A and B are shown apart, each in its own frame.
Chain A
């Protein structure tokens, strides 16, 4: 773990399933230091883990030589987590899982990661930079905008 300055923490993870926990636990530690409640931290942990898994599985096809970069940026009121890989990124809208179709076997039982990310954090977007790869950008706010 490298702390560039007081507001940024960066990680480079091998694309090996299980290492998403390093990012998940680092994000949780930072969020705890910032004063986020435990239920928000649990939301963030799941979202960060799912973003890392997507990068490892879909962005890098589990090629362990390719690194997933995780950048945590801290401001007074929010924590931004960017999860970047060398893949082409997400095309189109975030699919909402249809459990009835999954239960009937018409849809893969998997494919819920992006939906969970979007549902659990305050802001989620997927940014594609063409040949330079792509990033998932997640943000949680200490105070929701309407509370300010």
Chain B
């Protein structure tokens, strides 16, 4: 048995004031096996990407090792002065993210429109 591979689709949306939003849409599992998919994809974004939207809508399984990768991504984004908004987490994982304190570093929004509107 293997984890369902993490897939990340990168796209761009127009931001509220014309600055584009880079969207990372995750699907499958996010576990310790997802380092290349999560951090590799994040690190391959162009340096000009200052607004990043994380879409967890199609994530099927997320564990603490996967959450650690999200934390590492947020650490690197903080150092790069990037703003990150998130949406699509189930109520359970919204609770888990809140429990471990991730919500101090990215806001969890109910949907994509609310998340996009939250960028300054």
Contact = CB atoms under 8 A, between A and B. Distances in A.
B68 A109 contact: yes
Interface stretch (A83-91, A96-104, A140-148): A96-104
Interface stretch (B47-55, B90-98, B107-115): B90-98
Given A42-B92, A97-B101, A103 B75 contact: yes
Interface of A: 16-22, 39, 42-43, 46, 49-50, 53, 97, 99-100, 102-105, 108-110, 112-113, 115-116, 119-120
Nearest to A116: B64
B75 A53 contact: no
B2 interface: yes
Contacts of B102: 99
A95 to B, nearest CB: 12
A112 B2 contact: no
Chain B CB within 10 A, most for which of A18, A43, A100, A113 = A18
Interface in B1-36: 1-3, 31-33
Contacts of A20: 63
Contacts of A99: 71, 100-102, 104-105
> What is the interface of chain B mostly: helix, strand, loop, or mixed?
helix
B105 A112 contact: no
Contact of B71 (A21, A102, A113, A115): A102
B1 A112 contact: no
Contacts of A116: 64, 96, 99-100
Contacts of B65: 53, 110
A43 B75 contact: no
Contacts of A103: 71, 74-75, 78, 105
B72 interface: yes
B114 to A, nearest CB: 22
A109 B61 contact: no
10 contacts: A18-B1, A39-B92, A42-B90, A53-B63, A53-B65, A97-B101, A103-B71, A103-B74, A103-B78, A112-B100
